[in-house]
Chains A and B, each alone.
Chain A
Amino acid sequence: MAVQSNLKNMVLCLFTTCLVCSAVLAGVYALTAAPIAQTNAQLLQQSVGAVLPEGGELSEAKDLEVGGQPSEYYILSENGQDKAYAVKSTVVGFGGPLVLMVGVTADGKVYNTSVLSHTETPGLGAKCTTDEGFMAQWKELDPAVKILKVKKDGGDIDAITASTITSRAYTLAVQNAIDAVKGMGDASTGASVKPKEEMENEQ
């Protein structure tokens, strides 16, 4: 406050402030970059680990198209055989993107699912990360036995109370992941991919 402003001291002051601040931030960034990377890797490891059976070796991230969007997946293999896949599946929920990690075993069954990120309404759709009844029904779910639609739409999935849109989105994300894994198998054996018409109906 005390200093008279002139061009020279204003430029000098702003320059020095920015220089010092940048230096401080660069220093802190250098110090925290490793812990941040470690934390992120740990979180990913947790989310992938939670949806896959135990044992085996996990691959690096691989590119895959899920539900018409570029995404990624991880392969869990044991004795050189693919045991299960963890597929990252993104759909539009009620409040924005809903990103799931879906574990699909080699025989096409869902092993487990977990939410990576969401912007659903707290207390409503956000229950997809806490509602035990809703979460439990994805565990070891066989799409050949259960119809992957919420009960309102004639399927076998119990929706979260008052959150049908979130539940539908969740179901679609799981379906997309299953289809993507099926698509991989079809591509390698040369069999036909799921008819396009059927895909559209599920939307």
Chain B
Amino acid sequence: MNSKLQLITKGFVKDNPTFVLLLGMCPTLATTTSAINGLSMGLATLFVLVLSNMAISAIAPVVPDKVHIPVYIVVIATFVTLLQFLMQAYTPGIYATLGLFIPLIVVNCIVLGRAEAFASKHSIGDSALDGLGVGLGFTLSLTVLGAVREILGSLSIFGWKIPGTGDGMLAFVMAPGAFICLGYLMVLFNKYLAKK
């Protein structure tokens, strides 16, 4: 039981995809202009990650070695397209904000990375937990990064404007601020890990 719990929690800190493994940097930097955007992108990736991990774990034993990458990509792309249809239909607001970055989940190295490194060698249940753990870790990192950038850049948090304040530091809403924030958060994270 303990090891099952570990499958989920290791994505938070030890194997955190953003701050430790540095995977999936493109959506990380691009979509974290606010906490809500970061959270939505994280959850979208989580959804794909859990489902593709389970599906790939199920089919891995019968997939010939030489074609396993194309097969995995097709499976992942299917789930991403499915997510895209669902978001267009039921959450058009979030879909409009994230737009381009939803289809890009297909080539997010976290998803294919987990499929290769974990799902293809473990049971369906464990793979689902692994997907959940890494997905939650990714969601957490993106939300934290988004929140920091939103506070510094627009002086608001989760879309709620801090009263009595003006405009924030614009650089943090744009690309340079994303790199700076990510860098400092990584420093803090690794300092905490080194102490342990």
Contacts and interface: CB of A to CB of B under 8 A. Distances in A.
B67 A1 contact: no
Contacts of A32: 85-86, 88-89
A35 B88 CA distance: 8
Interface residues of A, number: 30
Contacts of A43: 92
A45 interface: no
A13 B71 contact: yes
Interface stretch (A22-30, A70-78, A195-203): A22-30
Interface of A is mostly: helix
B85 A36 contact: yes
A51 B67 CA distance: 54
B89 A36 contact: yes
A21 B66 contact: no
B8 to A, nearest CB: 25
Interface in A14-49: 14, 17-18, 21, 24-25, 28-29, 32, 35-36, 39-40, 43
Contacts of A191: none
B148 to A, nearest CB: 15
B88 A1 contact: no
Interface of B is mostly: helix
B64 A123 contact: no
Contact of B121 (A1, A25, A29, A40): A1
Interface string B116-139: 000011000000000000000000
Interface string B56-79: 000111111111101100110110
A134 B170 CA distance: 19
B62 A35 contact: no
Given A1-B60, A121-B174, A21 B65 contact: no
Interface stretch (A2-10, A151-159, A180-188): A2-10
A3 B64 contact: yes
A123 B154 contact: yes
Interface of B: 33, 59-68, 70-71, 74-75, 77-78, 81-82, 85-86, 88-90, 92, 96, 120-121, 153-154, 167-168, 170, 173-174
